[in-house]
C-alpha cells in the first residue's frame, strides 16, 4: 500500500510540474509575440500634416502644394507627377521615395533626407534646401535653378544633365557624383565646393568660381567645359580644348 501511495503522489507531482512547464511555455510565447509585434502601420489616408506617416504610400498625381510636412515620414512614398510646390518639408524623411516629374518649386526642405530617391526630371527650382541630403539619388535632368543648396550633400548622386542656374552651391559636396552634361555655369559659389572624384564629362562650368573647390583634379577639368572666366584651384590649368562647343 505504501508503494502504491508513493506512486500516486509521484504522479500528482509530475502532473503539477508538467502543468507548470506548460504555463511557462505559453507565457514565454506570449511575451515573444508582444516583443516581435510589427511597428505601427503608416496611415495612408491621413491628411497632410507635420510628422504624418505616409511611408510606402502611393500619392501620385495629387495637388498637395502649400501643405506642412515638417518632420514627416515619407520613406518609399510614390509622389510621381504630384504638385508639392511651396510645401514645408523641413527635416522630412524621403529616403528611397519615387519622385518622377514631381514639382517641389519653392518648397522649404532644410535638413530633409532625399537619399536614394528616384527623381527623374523633377523640379527643385527655388527650394530652400540648406543642409539637405540627396546622397545616391537618381536626379537625372532635375532642375535646381535658383535653389538654396548651401551645404547640401549630393554624394554619389546621378545628376546627369541637371541644371543649377543661379543656385547657391556654397559648401555643397558632389563627391563621386555623376555630373555628366550637368550645367553649373550660372551657379553661385562663395566658398568651398566638394568635387572629389565627381564624373564631369562635358559638365558646364563656364564662368564658375572653383578657386576654393576641394578634391578637384586635372583629369576632371580636362573633360569638363569651361572658359577663360572659369577660376580654378591652384595647381590646375586651363585645358587647350576650352571652350567646348554647345552640346
What's the predicted TM-score (pTM) here? Answer: 0.84
How far apart CA 54 and CA 56 sit, in angstroms, is 6
Q: Contact 188/209 with Cβ under 8 angstroms?
A: no
Could you read off the pLDDT of 49-108 as tens digits, one per residue? 999 999 999 999 999 999 999 999 999 999 999 999 999 999 999 999 999 999 999 999
| Domain boundaries along the sequence of the chain | 1-37
Could you read off the pLDDT of 161-198 as tens digits, one per residue? 999 999 999 999 999 999 999 999 999 999 999 999 99
How far apart CA 64 and CA 88 sit, in angstroms, is 11
Q: Contact 182/162 with Cβ under 8 angstroms?
A: yes
Helix (H, G, I), strand (E, B) or coil at 221: helix
Amino acid at each position: 500500500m505504501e508503494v502504491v501511495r508513493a506512486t500516486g503522489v509521484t504522479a500528482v507531482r509530475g502532473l503539477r510540474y508538467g502543468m507548470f512547464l506548460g504555463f511557462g511555455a505559453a507565457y514565454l510565447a506570449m511575451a515573444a509575440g508582444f516583443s516581435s509585434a510589427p511597428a505601427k502601420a503608416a496611415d495612408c489616408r491621413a491628411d497632410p500634416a507635420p510628422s504624418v506617416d505616409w511611408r510606402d504610400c502611393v500619392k501620385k498625381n495629387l495637388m498637395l502644394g502649400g501643405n506642412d510636412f515638417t518632420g514627416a515620414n515619407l520613406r518609399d512614398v510614390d509622389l510621381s507627377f504630384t504638385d508639392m510646390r511651396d510645401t514645408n518639408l523641413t527635416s522630412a524623411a524621403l529616403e528611397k521615395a519615387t519622385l518622377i516629374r514631381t514639382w517641389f518649386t519653392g518648397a522649404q526642405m532644410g535638413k530633409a533626407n532625399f537619399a536614394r530617391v528616384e527623381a527623374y526630371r523633377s523640379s527643385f527650382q527655388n527650394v530652400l534646401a540648406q543642409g539637405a541630403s540627396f546622397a545616391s539619388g537618381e536626379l537625372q535632368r532635375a532642375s535646381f535653378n535658383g535653389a538654396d543648396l548651401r551645404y547640401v550633400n549630393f554624394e554619389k548622386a546621378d545628376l546627369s544633365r541637371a541644371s543649377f542656374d543661379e543656385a547657391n552651391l556654397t559648401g555643397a559636396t558632389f563627391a563621386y557624383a555623376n555630373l555628366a552634361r550637368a550645367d553649373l555655369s550660372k551657379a553661385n559659389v562663395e566658398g568651398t565646393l566638394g568635387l572629389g572624384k565627381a564624373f564631369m564629362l562635358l559638365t558646364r562650368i563656364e564662368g564658375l568660381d572653383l578657386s576654393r573647390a576641394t578634391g578637384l583634379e586635372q583629369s576632371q577639368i580636362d573633360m569638363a567645359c569651361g572658359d577663360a572666366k572659369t577660376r580654378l584651384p591652384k595647381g590646375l590649368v586651363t585645358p587647350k580644348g576650352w571652350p567646348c562647343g554647345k552640346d
